[in-house]
Amino acid sequence: MARKKKTGEEENTAKLPIDPNAHIAGAGEIANQFITQTLEVNYMPYAMSVIMSRAIPEIDGFKPSHRKLLYTMYKMGLLTGARTKSANIVGQTMKLNPHGDGPIYETMVRLTKGNEALLHPYVDSKGNFGKAYSKNMQFAASRYTEAKLAAISAELFHDIDKDAIDFVPNYDNTMPEPVLFPVTFPSVLVNSNSGIAVGMASNICSFNLKEVCETTIELIKNPEHDCTETLKAPDFSGGGSVIYDPVKIREIYSTGRGSVRVRGKCSYDKKNNCIDITEIPPTTTCEAIIDKVIELAKGGKFREISDIRDETDRSGLKITIDLKRGADPDKVIAALYKRTPLEEPFPCNFNVLIGGTPMTLGVGDLLLEWIAFRTECVKRRTYFELKKAQDRLHLLKALQKILLDIDKAIKIIRQTDEEAEVVPNLMIGFGIDEIQAEYVAEIKLRHLNREYILKRLEDIEKLETLIEDLQDILGSKTRIKRVIIDELKKVIEKYGQPRKTDILYESELPDADDEDEIPDYSVMVFFTKEGYFKKISHQSWRMGNNHKLKDGDEIILSAEASNNAELLFFTNKHQCYKSRISEFDECKASSLGDFVGAKLQMEDGETAVFCAIVSEYTGYILVFFENGKVAKVDISSFETKTNRKKLIKAYSDKAEPCAFRYVREDGEFVMVTTAGRYLCFNSAAVASKSAKDTQGVQVMTLKKGHKVITVEDFREDRFKKPSRYRTKTLPSAGAVLSQEDTGEQLTLG
């Protein structure tokens, strides 16, 4: 239950002097209100406001705060004029955005050229606007900086005054503001955008403008176009390199979700024996990298480094790392990529408001939505121009009639006694309507000559041709597509630029071989059913071995292993994540440990269901399925030459698994079904496969409606007569428990 909130009237009343002897109805009473009603009345409107009007960008690529600022600058004439003080822009923007000068200026800072946060900045700036790659380089106050709109901003306001988009009143109903910008290119993908709403978020990476426009052109021609052919990979303003993974790229392009690995750029200066970092991923800062290197160096992980300093200046970002004599620079660079934020994943979440509804769309679908939006803008602009041309032609038709007898028009006006009768008399005299007559009546006396009228009449033929062309555009989808394509080609020609972010393929990356630096000692490891992993030293384990677990959780793996052993985590989404025991911090038994899903950055709803400890890639992974099949995969199939952390299709998705085993040599197992049947078999009877997602071999036959529910490791004392449950041929239905084996052994746990 939630306490009812006082109204403003009640709060004001509470401040008035109260007679202590007077009785106030309801005083001191607490009004109960259901929490569901509180959420509906108080919380949901706030949540919807944040989603719709603050955090999520729309199809034109802007949030309301961006749109209000840029439109204000447009109305101030800053598209072609000189720069003005940022404080002036901020003050004018408050007519549309009442959130205060601080947030408005911060919004403006990110849009500027000086901040270097966007591939194509919309604001041409002068002064200190800070840097996106540094948290310590703060921007100057608005009274010191100047700004105007960048040239590319002209594409945002193209046809904005031709009824291409809708306008709504501002917050105090004193001036109109655009609902969207009629932008001529898909700016939603050209510049990065992120926001956190209530219950949802958006994080859109940037792409090269030329590639985006070319992809859009291909989609206009063929909606089934494969975007990966023309849109290679994200392109970030800070440069760096994208580690190209075709599977992940297609996942992002098709679903709008996923992540792409981005690494910075560094080079070895042989003369000064140092490493210079000049480009970093967009998700980090130079201070974060420096702090991490210092932390690792203090922990003995970077013994080759003697000093690190930030040498960033007006020429750009630069972090210098001095090396000790004899240090291997390639080895240090590989370790920097592996252990510091110099290489980080960029999480993508293409959540955009489409017609007021949040939608997570892939690249192709998002561009198709933009094409539909731009098509509507072109139609509205064309109709506006058509109406304007028709109105102009309508007026010129009146001039054409007057040309036949100018003297008659003058005579009608001179002989009219009252001014109000001039227009009606012209209408009667020349057979024209009121609008035409009003236009003729307003012509200056100096213009009532044949030369002036003939020049105006020359436009009639041009207008008729224009009207015919505009009507043809409105009636032809092909013509509208051609108009949009022509506009996109002009944008490419004006603003296209080479990629700033290089593309690296997995095969081009050197192995970061630093196994010799991993301390090799024995530890106790534990893995729970809920996906928690614990690494405990022997000393800590001797001091206390009472595990702390979440309610309903249990230990499913307990082993002693080497600290440099590898871990294979199989998930409920048929994937395998690789890690090392050394990458997990030591903890005590009294802690929950590391949640593997978060530690390894698994997908939403993905959790680890089995863990295999691998010191050498010998043996097999056994996957037991509910349909009675068993897959036996050589463990070497999971060994990778590169440092890939994620393997897709790690096991078959054709049936639900009920158990996993990692065995170094074949052994006997007992499969148990819902029908109470037991089958004892040796894994040597199942042929091993190299394909990880093999469907396996049918080991146990099941009746309709039944399935395998558990698998036990065979023990000699498990059955009185084990031969009863063994079979010479597979598959087999197994056998029900004999009377000798019933009792407490029926418990499947």
Indicate if the alpha-carbon torsion angle 461, 462, 464, 468 is positive or negative.
positive
Name the token pair of 594.
């590391």
For residue 669, the SS3 value is strand
Q: How far apart are CA 218 and CA 198, in angstroms?
A: 36
User: Could you give the residue numbers annotated as active site?
Assistant: 144
- The enclosing H or E element of 241 equals strand 241-244
Residues 6+ apart with CB under 8 A from 369: 59, 352, 354, 361
Per the listing, tokens 């509906």 go with: 40
Tokens of 703: 């009746």
Structure tokens, 388: 């304007």
Yes or no: say if 536 and 524 are a contact pair by the CB < 8 Å rule: yes
Phi, psi of 537 (to 5 degrees): -70, 155
CA distance linking residue 118 with residue 124, whole number of Å: 12
Handedness of CA 105, 110, 116, 121 (dihedral sign): negative
HEC profile for 33-102?
Answer: ECHHHHHHHHHHHHHHHHHHHHHCCECCCCCHHHHHHHHHHHHCCCCCCCCEEHHHHHHHHCCCCCCCHH
Find the distance separating the first CA and the last CA of the chain, reported in whole Å: 41
Cβ distance 180 to 165 under 8 Å?
A: yes
Q: Is 194 helix (H, G, I), strand (E, B) or coil?
A: strand
| Both structure tokens of 455 | 């020049």
- Burial class from Cβ neighbours inside 10 Å (0-12, 13-18, 19+) for residue 469 reads middle
- Indicate the helix (H) or strand (E) that contains 410: helix 406-415
Q: Which residue has the tokens 């396996």?
A: 696
Calpha distance 172→94 (Å, rounded): 11
- What letter represents residue 273's amino acid? N
Please state, in angstroms and rounded to a whole number, the distance separating the CA atoms of residues 57 and 204. Answer: 9
Q: Which of 8, 57, 2, 56 is nearest to 34 (CA)?
A: 2
| Cα 689 to Cα 633: distance, rounded to the nearest angstrom | 5
Question: Angle at CA 70, nearest 5°, toward 66 and 72?
Answer: 120
Q: What is the DSSP letter of 317?
A: -
Residue 510: count of CB within 10 angstroms of its CB: 12
Neighbouring C-beta atoms of residue 23, cutoff 10 Å: 6
Residue 399 in tokens? 């001039």
Q: How far apart are CA 429 and CA 574, in angstroms?
A: 86
DSSP SS3 for 496: coil
Q: Which residues of 153-183 are buried (b: 16+ CB within 10 A; e: fewer)?
A: bebbbbbbebbbbeeeeeeeeeeebbebbbb
For the chain, give the longest Cα–Cα distance.
129
Q: Distance between CA 426 and CA 395 in Å, rounded? A: 14
Rounded CA separation 534/529 (Å): 12
Q: CA torsion, points 635, 636, 642, 648, in degrees to nearest 10?
A: -50
- Mind giving me the DSSP string for 363-401? HHHHHHHHHHHHHHHHHHHHHHHHHHHHHHHHHHHHHHH
